[in-house]
Amino acid sequence: MSSSPDEADQWIKVRLLFVRGIAQPEKAQPGKHDWAVFLTTDTNLESHRILELYAMRWAIEVYFKEAKQYLGFLKEQSNHYAAYIASIHLTAIRFCMLVIAKSRHQASGIADVRQQLTANATSIDYAARLWQVFGL
């Protein structure tokens, strides 16, 4: 649709893919939450490719959600674009370090490693502050 009255309307073809999730055996009919719809502007994409692309996108969304919650993504206070770019890269480095620590310690998950590192970082921070207090 046009953004101003002087512009002509422009229509774009899209492809909708409706997918029904796995219905639970006790359900006679699937409900509205058992369905998903995917929209693409590439009308030549096959159904399985649409789902593959969404799965890759979903993994990225989960990564950024966890990075924001647990790794301090964009919590720095700055109005500079370069600081935001640095924050993104530092978050990625933190995540990679957690993955390496997980593999070295055969931890059950990244969350376990993060909790151990956070507890250790708190101790180190406290010790550093004590050093400052005593002027050493």
Domain residue ranges of the chain, discontinuous segments joined by +: 15-134
Structure tokens at 59: 């993994």
**Beta bridge pairs of residue 20:** 35
- pLDDT tens profile 25-79: 666 666 667 788 999 999 999 999 999 998 888 877 877 777 777 776 666 677 8
Return the residue matching tokens 């370090």: 97
Query: Cα(77)–Cα(84) distance, rounded to whole angstroms?
Result: 9
With cut-offs at 50, 70 and 90, classify the pLDDT of residue 85: confident
Contacts of 64 (CB under 8 A, 6+ apart): 73
pLDDT at 99: 77
Residue whose structure tokens are 């993104």: 88
Spatial separation of the C-alpha atoms in residues 82 and 37, rounded to whole Å = 37
Looking at every residue in the chain, the average pLDDT score rounds to 75
- For residues 55 and 75, give the distance between their C-alpha atoms in angstroms, rounded to a whole number: 27
